[in-house]
Amino acid sequence: MSAYDVVVIGAGVHGASLAFHLARRGARVAVLERKFVAAGATGRSSGLVRMHYDLRLEAALVWASYPYFRHWDEMVGAGDCGFVRTGFLRLVPPAYEDALRANVRMQQELGIPTLLVRADDVRRLAPYLRTDDFRVAAYEPESGYADPPATAQGFLEAARQHGAVLRTGAAVERILTTPDGSAVQGVRTADGATWAAEQVVLAAGPWAPRLAATAGLDLPLTTWSHDVMFVRRPAGTRWSPADLTVIDDLNEMYFRPERGNLTLVGLEVGNPLGEDPDTPTEHPHPGFVERAVAHLTRRVPALLEGSLHSAHRGYDGLSEDQRAILGPAGPDGLWLNVGHSGTGFKIAPAVGRALSEWMLDGAPQVVDIRPFALERFTAGRPLRPEHPYADIWR
């Protein structure tokens, strides 16, 4: 008998959520993290909790995840995810207005509280926004943002209360398989320790392809790099929970309030691909701050009087269709929870639950995530929405 039922590689929010959902069902789980909790993509996530997607499956996942953020104490019971309700606005170029309308209808069919608003409505909601370059927008009054590292910590604390084991500073260097490579047997860490398990879950973000290769599996992922900056608001301006979280496709960016009288902003253009994820992340790419200021102040002119607080970069795994890769792949007992392509934080609670159901019960229940399986690429079934916007990471 294996020492553990499941070894999860990676203590980001997805590994943490899965560990929680497995452990609460009685599975013997070990989570191995090469550095510390949320050391990778989760620690650099902007933490948006919004329901607007153009793919129905992703909208369903975030809607199933939303109760965890709003009712963390009841649903997880450890730590605090730090959810702040701000309201959320999605702006698109006029060419995508019909798609916006169709996607709002789709989300309403799922029960998501969302509606179309006119530009003059937006002006009343947020008088600091320029509103003369769009006619309608999608508005979600219940959305906002949360704290990604705290979310991961909370899930792991709850998982440990249900018997899970967490080891940080335990870098996995190889997935172990049977001599014929047909089934996993566990993992080996850099210190030579062997962690035996019947199932191994790869939740290692942009480092996943390296580890998958040790089990004979070629993952169609590249490394996606993303920069974020924090802007101090002008003197006399105070942070307010009423300030909206915004994705602004016209200016190829998103932004949200941050405690400390700050605004967080990230760009959806000019994000390099293929960089080494071990590259230091303390500083953004050259030129990012100047570009981000130009994009941000086109929508929020008042921030021309602001100042730079800080900026950094992060890395995630990007799949060929910019959607997650979930489910079994390669040797028997190997599971994937990778390729979240920079938008995975908000769906992590439901993904963890659905994947735990798939592993323990034979099929996911809360949301059917089987279309996210790796085989979709070889079968020519990439995930494409019915009413798409442009690919965002470009």
Give the CATH number, domain containing residue 359: 3.50.50.60
| Mean pLDDT of the region 17-22 | 98
Judge whether 62 lies within some domain.
no
Domain-terminating residue out of 277, 294, 319:
319
Instruction: Report the percent of the chain where pLDDT is more than 90.
Output: 95
Residues 337 and 364 reside in one and the same domain: yes
Residues 213 and 228 reside in one and the same domain? no
CA 229 to chain centre: 18
Instruction: State the pLDDT confidence band at 391, using cuts at 50, 70 and 90.
Output: low
- Based on the fold, state whether residues 216 and 95 are members of the same structural domain: no
Q: How many domains does the chain have?
A: 2
CA angle 158, 64, 159 (to 5 degrees): 10
Question: What mean pLDDT value characterizes the chain?
Answer: 95
How many residues comprise the chain? 394
Residue 171 has pLDDT above 70, yes or no: yes
Q: Do residues 123 and 267 both lie within one domain?
A: yes
Strands (E), the chain: 4-9, 29-33, 48-49, 84-85, 88-91, 115-118, 136-140, 144-145, 165-168, 172-177, 184-189, 194-202, 221-232, 245-248, 253-258, 262-267, 307-319, 325-328, 334-338
Mean pLDDT throughout 350-355?
98
CA 51 to chain centre: 12
Residue 208 lies in domain: 4-45+149-220+321-378
Q: Tell me: do 373 and 233 sit in the same domain.
A: no
The pTM of this model reads 0.96
pLDDT of residue 235: 80
Note whether 228 and 315 are same-domain residues: yes
Residue 121 sits in the same domain as residue 243: yes
- CA 367/CA 370 separation, integer angstroms: 9
Q: Last residue of some domain: 300, 319, 338? A: 319
Residue type, 79: G
Predicted pLDDT at 31: 98
The domain that holds 247 is classified in CATH as 3.30.9.10
Q: Are residues 335 and 202 in the same domain?
A: yes
Q: Please determine, for residue 25, whether its predicted confidence score (pLDDT) is greater than 60.
A: yes
Assigned domain for 291 exists: yes
